[in-house]
């Protein structure tokens, strides 16, 4: 196993009770649950930041769609959905 570090977070009593209930139901410790939650959130945020950066990079390369074209596409989709 890789080296670990300790972090501290304050949570309200309702959140702590929920964490304890879920951890117990899964046969896990509070510590495992917290570490897993932090890992998942960090991965989601990293993926989101990469997605945003990809958009920025595309814009920097001039790969843009004019606003009028986007609105026309959305109007067409809305009309198709309402026609069904």
How far from chain centre, in Å, is Cα 74? 25
Instruction: Indicate the length of the chain as a whole number.
Output: 84
Residue 30 neighbours by CB distance under 10 Å: 13
Residue 36 neighbours by CB distance under 10 Å: 13
- The per-residue pLDDT for range 3-39, each reduced to its tens digit, is 999 999 999 999 999 999 999 999 999 999 999 999 9
Q: What is the pTM assigned to this prediction? A: 0.72
The upper half-sphere exposure of residue 69, i.e. CA atoms within 13 Å in the direction of its Cβ, equals: 3
Decide: 10 and 18 in contact? Cβ < 8 Å: no
Question: Residue 40 above 90 pLDDT?
Answer: yes
């Amino acid at each position: 196993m890789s080296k670990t570090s300790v972090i501290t977070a304050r949570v309200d009593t309702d959140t702590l009770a929920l964490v304890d209930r879920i951890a117990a139901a899964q046969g896990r410790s509070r510590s495992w649950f917290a570490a897993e939650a932090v890992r998942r959130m960090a991965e989601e945020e990293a993926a989101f930041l990469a997605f945003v950066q990809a958009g920025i990079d595309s814009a920097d390369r001039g790969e843009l769609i004019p606003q009028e074209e986007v609105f026309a596409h959305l109007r067409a989709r809305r009309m198709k959905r309402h026609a069904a």
